[in-house]
Amino acid sequence: MIRFLFGVIVGILIFLLFIYFGGGKAVKKVGEGLTETGKRMEHLEEVIKKERDETGKELKRRILKEGSKENTKTIQ
Tell me the C-alpha distance between 42 and 13, whole Å: 37
Any idea where the domains of the chain sit in the sequence? 2-75
Tell me the C-alpha distance between 19 and 3, whole Å: 24
pLDDT at 44: 93
Instruction: Using alpha carbons, select from 5, 61, 22 the residue that is nearest to residue 69.
Output: 61
Helix (H, G, I), strand (E, B), or coil: what is residue 1? coil
- Residues 44-58, mean pLDDT to the nearest whole number: 92
Flag whether pLDDT at 53 surpasses 70.
yes
Q: What is the DSSP letter of 22?
A: T
